């Protein structure tokens, strides 16, 4: 029996944005968590060399697996055997591998709400049961150990994301340690999505492997490494589970793109260039946080990491999807509706991505100011102009 899942509404809004652009409209794409910068220069140069000299084929780059394992030692002080590293076609297949190889249909998997739309949808597609735990503005949208301890009966698994999408919330190390202990004590397997590691604005990002060596870790080259279109990610699996997860990878996806593996290996040593991108995101974050209160958007928890601002627009609308579409059609600023991330309270939220250039953020603020000035509290957004 197939599973019914909700569409990713931001993708539909993005299609509208591209249609408007084709009509000659100026569009600012703040709907996706997609860096506007490209892959590091040295990685692109390496890709050109490979294209010229290597016919390529199916590849599981031992050099890249070794380099990722070294990254965990250098960054988090944990030891990872390269054989625990499974290269994937981005973080989404890594999520499928982690869930499908670890849990069975019917298992209950806890996760934060709001949270990334693919968590809930992938669980449903695999015939597992998502148990969403409310993380509100009052708690800075952070999942807590107390919430995990209160679940009865204990779920089979827990998805943790820090920094989180759509809120940018980072769970501090002491709380991650408490979550890990409770999950160990209760027999809950942890899947930790660490795709936004490297993107933080004060609070450091800590890997769940520092606290739970049997956690499954998801990461990708799409965010910090600015290589979304290259479709390259990885899964770190426990030693006694890596063979099973690797078998799932081979059966479902074969291998990650060969060219991307060659480029990714080089990208991992381009931190100076990549950290300059983070400096741009930090500036964009400050610009948005300074401007949004002037638009009447004051219920915001400043993001600790990632590159999103999750803003409460409940004083203006209870239909964030329609709100985002009218905002797009009127101003050319594309955003993501909260209903993608929260099926219960998301109708009153929208998400801005600031993974764009500073000039685009500045232009977006100019356009948004005039539009939001025309809003009426408690009413609906103005009708889109012709």
CATH number at residue 215: 3.40.640.10
CA quadruple 28, 32, 36, 39: dihedral, nearest 10: -160
Q: Tell me which DSSP letter residue 293 carries.
A: G
Using the 8-state DSSP alphabet, how is residue 18 labeled? H
Give the structural domain span for 212: 41-267
Tell me if the bond preceding 114 is cis, omega within 30° of 0: yes
CA–CA distance, 66 with 81 (Å, rounded to integer): 8
User: What 8-state DSSP symbol labels residue 351?
Assistant: E
Q: Where a domain ends, among 267, 299, 331?
A: 267
Kindly report, residue by residue over 349-383, the tens digit of the pLDDT. 999 999 999 999 999 999 999 999 988 776 544 44
**Co-location of 79 and 182 in the same domain:** yes
Residue 383 lies in a domain: no
Phi/psi class of residue 168: alpha, beta or left (left: φ > 0; alpha: ψ in -120 to 50)?
Answer: left
Are 66 and 170 within one domain? yes
Contact 178, 203 (CB under 8 A): no
Number of domains in the chain: 2
One domain for residues 159 and 250: yes
Residue 244, judged by CB atoms within 10 A of its CB (0-12, 13-18, 19+), counts as middle
Q: Are residues 280 and 156 in the same domain?
A: no
323 touches 317 (CB < 8 A): yes
Is residue 242 domain-shared with residue 100, that is, in the same domain? yes
Backbone angles phi, psi at 307, to 5 degrees: -145, 55
* Of the residues 204, 236, 267, the one at which a domain ends: 267
Q: Within the chain, which residues score under 50 in pLDDT? A: 380-386
Contacts of 93 (CB under 8 A, 6+ apart): 233, 249, 252, 253
pLDDT > 70: percent of the chain:
97
pLDDT per residue as tens digits for the range 219-267: 999 999 999 999 999 999 999 999 999 999 999 999 999 999 999 999 9
Q: Has this prediction a pTM greater than 0.85?
A: yes
* Same domain flag for 220 and 334: no
């Amino acid at each position: 029996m197939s599973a019914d899942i909700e569409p990713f509404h931001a993708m539909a809004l993005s299609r509208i944005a591209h249609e408007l652009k084709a009509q000659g409209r100026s569009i600012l794409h703040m709907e996706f968590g997609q860096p506007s910068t490209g892959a590091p220069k040295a990685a692109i140069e390496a890709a050109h060399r490979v294209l010229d000299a290597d016919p390529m084929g199916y590849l599981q780059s031992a050099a890249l697996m070794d380099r990722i394992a070294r990254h965990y030692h250098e960054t988090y002080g944990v030891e990872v055997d390269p054989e625990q590293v499974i290269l994937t076609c981005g973080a989404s297949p890594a999520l499928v591998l982690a869930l499908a190889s670890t849990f069975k249909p019917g298992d209950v998997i806890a996760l934060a709400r709001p949270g990334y739309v693919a968590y809930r949808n992938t669980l449903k597609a695999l015939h597992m049961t998502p148990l969403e735990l409310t993380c509100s503005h009052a708690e800075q949208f952070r999942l807590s150990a107390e919430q995990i301890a209160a679940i009865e009966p204990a779920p089979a698994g827990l998805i943790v994301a820090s920094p989180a999408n759509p809120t940018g919330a980072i769970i501090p190390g002491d709380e991650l340690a408490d979550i890990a202990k409770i999950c160990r004590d209760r027999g809950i397997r942890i899947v930790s999505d660490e795709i936004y590691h490297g993107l933080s604005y004060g609070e450091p990002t800590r890997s769940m492997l520092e606290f739970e060596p049997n956690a499954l870790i998801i990461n990708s080259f799409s965010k910090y490494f600015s290589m979304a279109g290259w479709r390259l990610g990885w899964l770190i699996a426990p030693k006694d589970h890596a063979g099973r997860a690797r078998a799932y990878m081979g059966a479902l996806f074969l291998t990650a793109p060969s060219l991307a593996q060659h480029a990714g290996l080089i990208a991992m040593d381009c931190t100076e260039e990549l950290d300059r991108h983070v400096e741009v995101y930090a500036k964009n974050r400050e610009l948005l946080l300074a401007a949004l209160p002037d638009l009447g958007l004051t219920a915001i928890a400043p993001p600790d990491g990632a590159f999103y601002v999750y803003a409460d627009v409940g004083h203006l609308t209870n239909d964030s999807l329609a709100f985002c579409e009218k905002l797009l059609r009127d101003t050319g600023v594309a955003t993501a509706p909260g209903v993608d991330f929260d099926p219960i309270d998301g109708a009153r939220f929208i998400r801005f991505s600031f993974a764009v250039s500073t000039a685009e953020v500045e232009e977006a603020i100019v356009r948004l100011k005039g539009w939001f000035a025309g809003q009426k509290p408690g009413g609906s957004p103005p009708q889109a102009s012709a």
